[in-house]
Structure 1
Amino acid sequence: MNKPIKRAFLDTEDGQILYRIGGEGKPLVLLHQNFRSSDEFRELIPIFSQKRLVIAMDFLGLGDSDKPPRMYSIEDYAKTVILLIDELGIKTTSILGNHTGACVAAEVAAAYPERVEKIILCNIDNFNEEGKAALINKFENLKIQPDGSHLIKRWSARAAYIGSAELNHRWVLDDLKGFGYPWYAPLAVIDYCQRMEARFRLIKSPTLILSGTEDIKQLEKLGFANANNREFILAAIPHAKMIDIEGGTICMMNQIPEEISKVAIEFLEENLVNAI
């Protein structure tokens, strides 16, 4: 019988980090995207925990973790992953990250190769200059409005593809926890794009790339990125395997957990030799 999924806090010099933990076996760390939290993996944790010890953290500045006293870089977020697994007595782990979480997962693999078994990078992009400008403009406009109009705007932002009011509610709750504060993780991603390819070339661990076909269409529509942006990963990590998730949106961790978990578990259980 699997251990129940619990929540706990890790104390750091920049504040407390909330994390969820459950299951037993070889560890798997789950890293969420911008404006989300470990709640992004609410559907996946019970599936993965049948086979693994699963840990999902809220990045500092997001979810129920504290707001850090300074702007964080992707490298800083990678260090918090190491702090957490050190606290839990974990020497090596596999990591699955989505969007921002994928950048952090990649950086952990690049900076701490001896701590990483395998990585799964989901919906990762290297934004061009136009995309960076569009992202910054969007973040600067996400402010608390006296008339509460920001609430309906955030509700409407994903209504066309999120699939359910309950799931949209969860996303909006995470959105609003970041309002009134600096956009820590989004700005970290924009900054990381300048050195992303060089950092990815340092990755030696077995790597799986999952790309949602509807996710990239939405990013193209918003002017943030295009499908070709994801091709650089295969050049930077030539041993990586890429799989398109047909119909996968930005919300695919919540919407199709059975499909995501099946592909992920198959990869994690393959007997691949670390190419260091």
Structure 2
Amino acid sequence: MITRHFIDVDTNGNKRRVHYRLAGKGPPLLMVHQSPRSSKEYEPLMQKWANHFTCIAPDTPGFGQSDALSGKPEINEYADALIELVDALGIEKCAAYGFHSGGIILVTAVKRHANRFTALAIGGYAIWTPEEMNLFSDKYLPEFHPSQYGEHLAWLWNRILEQSWFFPWFATDDEHRLSVANDDPLRVDAVVREMLDAGNAYQSGYGAVLRAPRDIPAADAPVPPCLISAYDGDPLQEHIDRLGAMPPSWSARKVATPDEHQAASLEHLLATETELVTALQETADEGFIAVEIENFNGLIHWRGNRAASTLSVHAPGKAAPKCGDDDGLYIDLAGHGLSDDWMGEAPTDWASWSKLITACATQLDVDRIDYEPLPVGDAKLLYPDLSPDRFGNYLTKAWQIVRATVMFEPWYEAATAHAISFDPDQLRPDILAERHLERLNARAAKAYHIALQTR
């Protein structure tokens, strides 16, 4: 089973929160994702490699659920941040795997902290030519901020979709066409959500990788063994020929498929010995609990004060609030926020939801449960289908819903009789963006609303 955790890392007195996924047992394996993704992309690989390693996949700073680094960090800061995380987790030495920009961060970390790693496996290592760097310039990483009426969502959908058609994504010509084009809404949606999580922080992390020096360790450098491989269709496969002289324990190869790349990486990582991992550290005011009842077997996200006597449960379509100084304790319900989904269709009977919430309350050791009031309106109209579609219309649909929710009750009755008074600040794009993500993540909102009506 893959579990999820948070840990606070202190960097020169500045505390930042890091989210990581964990699976398996055995020697520690640090897995660093590509940009602008999160550790979620490694879930299938973690399930494969969990029989061999304690797989630890953090969200790099500014991506997923991890806090961004302060200022204008460059690649050395991201590499050092990785070592600071390893220190906070209590790991002295580990093997590591990174794909694309994750590999750039890892190789930089090895150049700066070689004694902290036993072996590296890298999926594609970019060695850009001056011409390619000029092509990227400022066009590859434009600023990404929420706009008043959701215009940023149309750009985002098409940018992520066409990244599989052309590389770089904006070079829409035959010369830059890729052989792995797709128009799968679910694949595009997965990256879109991670970009929405990162916001403009993606520009710092991704930009640091693109600007990073492309030199690998010198041939005589005392570094741990490393395998760099890339498969057919990977735009970085041709970069294997650009690597030049490497340390004796380093090698590079071209393979045919992603499975061959993963198999070669695993074989290489297993060839070295690393001490077994001990219990890892995590925060005391945020995390995940494993809940198993009928129709649900997964993780529920919680945050707040574990000493609180009351558990606060959000309304349908929302999530646990960002905790401040209110000393409360909150969860994201199943099919909401950061929590896992129900198995199959979300139940519409109160008994199922009550069992879930009671199980959470028991694990969190609270005596009382408070429920946020039920929104006004018909559940079938309040929560229309927001499944990803081929053209990304679900994104702007959800944005219009959160805007209308500020001004009308229920939101779908846009008429004078249903107008409500509101603070204009609630229409700020940053606030709408937070509620937009809540709405997109509220996959079980309709079912929960119906269940509450029978409570």
Alignment map for 1:47-58 (pairs within 5 Å): 47-58=48-59
Alignment of 1:65-84 (within 5 A): 65-84=66-85
2:226 to 193, 196, 207: 207
> Shift of residue 191 of structure 1?
2.3
Secondary structure of the residue that 2:243 maps to in structure 1?
Answer: helix
The one of 232, 246, 254 equivalent to 1:244 is 254
**Is residue 197–residue 236 contact of structure 1 (8 Å, CA) maintained in 2?**
no
> In the TM superposition, what whole-angstrom CA distance separates every residue of 1:198-230 from its partner, at most 9, and x where no partner exists?
6455462111111122112xx6xxxxxx82x43
Pairing partner for 2:155 from 144, 150, 155:
150
Question: How far apart, CA to CA, are the structure 2 residues paired with 1:163 and 1:26?
Answer: 39
Post-superposition Cα deviations, 1:174-210, rounded to whole Å, max 9, x if no partner, equal 12333334611222123212xx316455462111111
Greater Cα radius of gyration, structure 1 or 2: 2
Aligned to 1:138: 140
CA 1:126/1:207 → structure 2, altered by over 3 Å: closer, same or farther?
A: same
Going from structure 1 to structure 2, the CA distance change for 1:169 and 1:211 (only over 3 Å counts) comes to same
Give the secondary-structure state (helix, strand or coil) at the position aligned to 2:47.
helix
Task: Give the distance between the partners of 1:24 and 1:100, measured in 2 at CA.
Answer: 26
1:118-177 deviation per Cα after TM superposition (whole angstroms, max 9, x unaligned): 001111102222222333312127565543321331352246535743232111111233
Is the contact made by 1:62 and 1:174 (CA closer than 8 Å) also made in structure 2? yes
Percent of aligned pairs sharing the same letter: 20
**Aligned residue pairs, count:** 250
Mean Cα deviation higher: 30-39 or 14-23: 14-23
Q: TM-score, normalising length from structure 1?
A: 0.79
Q: Is this contact kept in 2: 1:234–1:240, CA < 8 A?
A: no
Q: Relative contact order (alpha carbons < 8 A, sep ≥ 6): 1 or 2 greater?
A: 1
Counterpart Cα distance in 2 of 1:40 and 1:92: 24
Q: Distance in 2 between matches of 1:200 and 1:143?
A: 40
| Superposition deviation, residue 268 in structure 1 | 1.5
Among candidates 181, 186, 190, match of residue 210 of structure 2: 190
Runs of 4+ in 1 over 4 A off after TM superposition: 141-146, 198-201
Superposition map of 1:18-57 within 5 A:
18-57=19-58
Q: Distance in 1 between matches of 2:182 and 2:247?
A: 31
Q: Decide whether aligned partners of structure 1 residues 8 and 100 sit closer, same or farther in structure 2, where only a CA change above 3 A counts.
A: same
1:172 and 2:192 matched: yes
User: Over residues 50-69 of structure 1, what are the superposed CA-to-partner deviations in whole Å (9 max), with x where a residue is unaligned?
Assistant: 11111111111222111222
**Structure 1 position 9 matched with structure 2 position 7:** yes
Q: Give the 3 Å change call, closer, same or farther, for CA 57–130 of structure 1 in structure 2.
A: same
8 A contact 2:36–2:202 mirrored in 1: no
In structure 2, relative to structure 1, the CA distance for the partners of 1:87 and 1:14 (3 Å cut) is closer
Q: Tell me what 1:222 maps to.
A: none
SS in 1 for 2:35: coil
Structure 1 counterpart of 2:142, which letter?
E
Query: SS of 2:126's equivalent?
Result: coil
Contact 1:22 1:55 in 2 (8 A): yes
* 2:96–2:119 CA contact under 8 A, matched in 1: yes
User: Which digits, 9 at most, give the CA deviation of each residue in 1:208-266, with x for residues without a partner?
Assistant: 111122112xx6xxxxxx82x43343513443222323244xxxxxxx5xx44422221
Change in Cα spacing, 1:81 to 1:130, as seen in structure 2 (3 Å) is: same
Whether 1:231 aligns to 2:241 is: yes
Contact kept? 2:120, 2:226, Cα under 8 Å: yes
Consecutive unaligned residues of structure 1, counting only runs of 5 or more, are: 220-225, 249-255
Q: Unaligned stretches of 5+ in structure 2?
A: 166-180, 274-455
- 1:266 corresponds to which letter in structure 2? E
C-alpha deviation, 1:36, in angstroms: 0.5
Q: Which amino acid aligns with 2:28?
A: P
Q: Aligned equivalents of 1:266 and 1:182: distance in 2?
A: 32
2:156 partner SS? helix
CA RMSD in angstroms, aligned pairs only: 2.6
Q: TM-score, normalised by structure 2?
A: 0.50
Counterpart residue identity of residue 113, structure 1: A
